[in-house]
Amino acid sequence: MIEMMLGTALVLFAVAIAIALFRIIRGPSIPDRVVAMDMIVVNLISGIAVISVLLKTKAFLEVILILGILAFISTIALSKFIERGVIIERKRNR
């Protein structure tokens, strides 16, 4: 019973990823694309967690953590780029 529910969850995560890919391709603006990329990463993390439960292993926890950290950093960088046009500001005291 639990395997069937987890399988259904995986299918729903795949559908959500497909919808987010559509939004990345057809997104009217860059912020829409950034949100869609975050949605893909969240659904990917959730799918990996479900697979980890199905396989009864903790081997994927590091992958989940790394994906979460990379998604957070990329969202911050893209937000800063959208706001200011640069990611890393260089201050010159000359």
Domain that holds residue 16: 2-84
Instruction: Answer yes or no: is 9 within a domain.
Output: yes
Instruction: Answer yes or no: is 58 within a domain.
Output: yes
Instruction: Answer yes or no: is 91 within a domain.
Output: no
pLDDT (tens place) for every residue of the chain, 94 residues total: 899 999 999 999 999 999 999 999 998 888 899 899 999 999 999 999 999 999 999 999 999 999 999 999 998 988 888 887 777 777 777 6
DSSP string, 26-63: H-SSHHHHHHHHHHHHHHHHHHHHHHHHHHT-STTHHH
Please say whether the beta carbons of 27 and 36 come within 8 A: yes
Check residue 84 and give its pLDDT. 78
Q: What total number of domains does the chain contain? A: 1
Length of the chain: 94
Please give the model's pTM, rounded to 2 decimal places: 0.83
Please say whether the beta carbons of 37 and 74 come within 8 A: yes
Check residue 79 and give its pLDDT. 84
Instruction: Answer yes or no: is 14 within a domain.
Output: yes
